[in-house]
Homo-oligomer: A and B are copies of this chain.
Amino acid sequence: MHEGNQAEAPLNPGLVFDMVQAHQRSAALKAAIELDVFRAVGQGPGDVASIARHCTASERGTRILCDFLVINGVLAKENGNYKHTPSSAAFLDPSSPACMASVAYFMSNPALREPYDNLASVVRAGRTSLEGEGTVEPENPVWVEFAEKMAPMMAPMAAPLGGVVLNGHSGPMHVLDIAAGHGLFGIEIAKQNPQARVTGLDWAPVLRVALKNAEKAGVQDRYNMLPGSAFDVDFGGPYDVVLLTNFLHHFDKPTCVSLMKKVHSALKPGGRAATLEFVPNEDRVSPPMPAAFSLTMLTTTPAGDAYTLSELTEMYTRGGFSNVKGHPIPMSPHTIVMGTA
């Protein structure tokens, strides 16, 4: 660094400023959802006074918050009135079937945010500062909330996952859905293949959420529940397909390998395991969303990570699988990884 050159360079403080202030974006979205701003905008007419009335909020606060949402692309402004962007209409207006407000709520859960208040000490320690094992602590109630709130984010992944996993297979089929959560992935298989039976494995209070979703989908007669920990419970089987969605990233590699071995031994010969994961490229810094997910694993788990395809392939291979392939889901940060027993 040469001080002379530095002094001549045009300085733009924007980059640092923007990153320091990024927390405002999370707070603004949370406040807007809490105040029901997106419903108010959807109902119109969209002037500050009407929105403020709907939200029981001050006009100054409403105007400044709505302008901030426009700046961030989740509202539009025309002649001083606010209206939806396509994205805010689809994902943030409670009247939309794809509304993700509950996802935003889950993800801004104060119980999961605490490690960010002192991230330096988390980086020093190399593990979550949450109590016990963090989100992988047995029976952590956060997973009931995950099952209840994250469905709108995961629902769009269900159809593509079902398509990749079934790949035209019909006929009788037994599927184990490990860490079923909301249950949507197993339920999707049951919907796409009327002869598929699904066993959901998760903590008992979580499975109650999955069962409700199975009832909504009308597949409850082919939905069984296996309550407990994926590491302790006997899987039964043998199965044609095992789903392992949003699960491996919580654990270190040896733990994942031993789980893949257990999965392998619960599959029929030729049966398949499918994981749904955030899979960064081998450089670990792209694409942005899957790569950034490792920070969430640092703050919430003792040893989890966003694994690359080569790392996941190694886990599958050491678990006894062959023919391991990644299937990125278009328009999403998720990748399905399939392997054959």
Contacts and interface: CB of A to CB of B under 8 A. Distances in A.
Interface residues of A, number: 96
B120 A31 contact: yes
Interface string A123-149: 111110000000000000000000000
Given A57-B124, A123-B61, A11 B98 contact: yes
Contacts of A34: 120
A82 to B, nearest CB: 10
Given A24-B116, A65-B123, A285-B70, A103 B13 contact: yes
Contacts of A21: 26, 107, 292, 296
**Number of chain copies forming the complex:** 2
Contacts of A93: 1
A255 interface: no
A169 interface: no
A75 B67 CA distance: 31
Interface in A15-69: 15-31, 34-35, 42, 55-65, 67-68
A204 interface: no
A15 B331 CA distance: 11
A24 B295 contact: yes
A123 B31 contact: yes
Interface in A235-289: 283-286, 288-289
Interface stretch (A83-91, A209-217, A221-229): A83-91
B28 A60 contact: no
A289 B17 contact: yes
Nearest to A285: B70
A324 interface: no
A172 interface: no
A117 B72 CA distance: 19
Contacts of A67: 284-285, 291, 294
Given A11-B91, A16-B91, A58-B125, 12 more contacts: A10-B330, A11-B331, A14-B289, A22-B22, A23-B113, A24-B292, A31-B122, A58-B127, A59-B126, A61-B123, A64-B305, A67-B285
